[in-house]
Amino acid sequence: MSCTVGYINGWGTCKALLKKMNGAGLQEKGNTWTDATAPTSGSWQTVIADDDSSVRNMLMLPMLSFVNTTDEPEILTSPLGIKSKGSNPIPSGKIMLNASLCDYKTLHALQGQEFEFIPFFQDGSMWMTRKSDGTLKGFRCSISTLAGLPPEDQNNSFPIYLFFEYYAEFEDVVVLSDFDWNYSDLQDFSPVGLDIRVTTAMSSGDVTYYVTKRGSGDPMTGLSAVGDQEVMKSNAAPVVAATVVVEDGQGYYTVTFKSNSAEPPPSLSANLSATEYIILQVHDDDATNLTYLSHQIKIYGG
């Protein structure tokens, strides 16, 4: 607590108690908004579903419920019985996802990473915080998930634990409202999930995998472009990419991946060794935004 002087100010004409949270977004750390972009649905569609992975940085969280798990403030009592607040508890919470196990298990890979958390409420508002440069952002947090047997109450099936980092961000909450869209519109921007599994290990650059639509298990067809096979990360040469895609039918694909060759001029002609790998996501899009997106999968060379 500081001893700066506080000045009495007026009250607003509106009395509005806080509403329940009905949705949230997790955005990659460091991303910001402006007062012009935050209320615009097109800006949200870009960060949620843009077909460029360097632009796409937001995961919307479908919620069943939210539990505020913030500790009570530390109350100190002097020898004379005078009470004071010792410290401000940093907020924390728990989200119960409205999802499936197929979705939830893909979130375990996000544990420990830092995100900007943006909550949405039943009155149509959302909260952000303002930085010193005037831009807006979410509330910095890390997340944790929980694997194990089903709970007694199925509404608690898929928890996400939120551990916020800065109390001061909540002291400067910016409430945004009066949009021409609802939270459900943002959720609808999210691409449909795909599941992918390798059926034939990589050999001489070729690997066969099977892709299905998450939930229904229907085969995913039409991922026949090399651009639909995106290498997110690799420990091989600086450039690794799909060079040939053969759609075998019924959701099966045989894809050739190559890395830069050592011989000049460099070209995508070298096979991955047994110790080299790629982190792969496959997707489909409408030339602007994603319509389908798989989880990540790690594939080793052969």
Is the per-residue pLDDT at 146 higher than 70? yes
At the top level of CATH, which class does the domain 192-300 belong to? mainly beta
Q: How confident is the model at residue 12 (pLDDT cuts 50, 70, 90)?
A: confident
What does the pLDDT look like over 47-76, one tens digit per residue? 999 999 999 999 999 999 999 999 999 899
Q: How confident is the model at residue 22 (pLDDT cuts 50, 70, 90)?
A: very high
Q: Is 104 exposed, middle or buried (0-12, 13-18, 19+ CB in 10 A)?
A: middle
- Paired with 194 in beta bridges are 213, 294
Cα dihedral 212/215/217/218 (nearest 10) = -80
Are residues 29 and 118 in contact, defined by beta-carbon separation less than 8 angstroms?
Answer: no
Are residues 119 and 21 in contact, defined by beta-carbon separation less than 8 angstroms?
Answer: yes
CA angle centred on 247, ends 244 and 249, rounded to 5°: 165
Segment 145-164 shows an average pLDDT of: 96
Q: How confident is the model at residue 185 (pLDDT cuts 50, 70, 90)?
A: very high
Instruction: Give the residue from 129, 131, 134 showing the smallest Cα distance to 117.
Output: 129
Q: So what's the pLDDT on residue 14?
A: 84
Sequence length of the chain is 302
Domain boundaries along the sequence of the chain:
21-189, 192-300
Are residues 230 and 100 in contact, defined by beta-carbon separation less than 8 angstroms?
Answer: no
Segment 18-35 shows an average pLDDT of: 96
Segment 243-262 shows an average pLDDT of: 95
Is the per-residue pLDDT at 17 higher than 90? no
Structure tokens at 139: 């509330």
pTM: 0.91
Segment 124-147 shows an average pLDDT of: 97
